[in-house]
């Protein structure tokens, strides 16, 4: 079957490492134009160079998803470099998990601003384009904490549950409005990325580190899932995909 990924322009946030970087490399290998956004310029530049040296098409812009104007500029870069936008992968996120009683208030704000508002900013940046062209795909990283409730992940899980609802409503509204916007929400479990580095609560970090060391798998697993979702025909939307390591209970 011919890859539908070929020549699509795909914007990826949180692209400097982990799931975002792995996805960018795989999609570029399969013929997509990838436009990379994250806060670390050095890592974005290195990843872009790696993709280009391998024969792929890539561009990048330093982007903080908390600010709509910066996400809009990233999308505008995709239009300028490659003539349009077909997919956005809202992948940027942090996971400074802790018990609610610890009252890490600034971390609550940060999770809401990045994990939820950052996704909303991604949606806002592409919605006028996708609505006008009556085509497009919005892919968003949630978490198994957006499907189940876990002690120690109350606020993190709240942002991921919110993403789950948001994406399903976009799917339903698009079907009603006839805009043909496909949506995919990905729910990763223990994937070995830099997420654990955002945890400041010592007890939570210890427990999560032990779990990930025991069962965690590489971010390439999620890259393959995103690749699959993009590669489906325009009349088919793979709306939800949960990914567990085989060893994780």
Kindly list the catalytic residues: 156
The CA dihedral of 94, 101, 215, 146, to the nearest 10 degrees, is -60
Exposure of 43 by Cβ count < 10 A (0-12 exposed, 13-18 middle, 19+ buried)? middle
Per DSSP, the residues of 111-175 read HIIIIIIHHHHHHHHHHHHHHHHT-EEEEEE--GGGTS--TT-HHHHHHHHHHHHHHHHHHHHHH
């Amino acid at each position: 079957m011919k890859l539908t990924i070929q020549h699509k322009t795909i914007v990826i946030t949180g692209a400097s490492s982990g799931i975002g970087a792995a996805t960018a490399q795989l999609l570029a290998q399969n013929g997509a134009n990838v436009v990379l956004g994250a806060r670390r310029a050095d890592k974005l530049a290195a990843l872009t160079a790696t993709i280009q040296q391998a024969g792929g098409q890539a561009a990048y812009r330093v982007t903080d998803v908390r600010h709509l104007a910066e996400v809009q500029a990233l999308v505008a870069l995709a239009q300028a470099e490659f003539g349009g936008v077909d997919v956005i992968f809202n992948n940027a996120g942090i996971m400074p998990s802790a018990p609610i009683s610890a009252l890490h208030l600034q971390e609550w704000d940060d999770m809401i601003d990045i994990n939820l508002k950052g996704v909303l900013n991604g949606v806002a940046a592409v919605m006028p384009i996708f609505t006008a062209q009556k085509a497009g795909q919005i892919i968003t990283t949630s978490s198994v904490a957006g499907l189940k409730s876990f002690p120690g992940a109350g606020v993190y899980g709240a942002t991921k549950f919110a993403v789950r609802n948001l994406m399903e409503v976009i799917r339903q509204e698009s079907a009603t409005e006839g805009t043909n916007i496909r949506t995919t929400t990905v729910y990763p479990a223990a994937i070995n990325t830099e997420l654990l580095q955002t945890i400041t609560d010592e007890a939570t970090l210890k427990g999560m580190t032990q779990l990930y060391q025991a069962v965690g798998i590489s971010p390439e697993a999620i890259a393959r899932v995103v690749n699959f979702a993009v590669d489906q025909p325009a009349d088919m939307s793979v709306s939800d995909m949960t990914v567990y390591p085989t060893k994780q209970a």
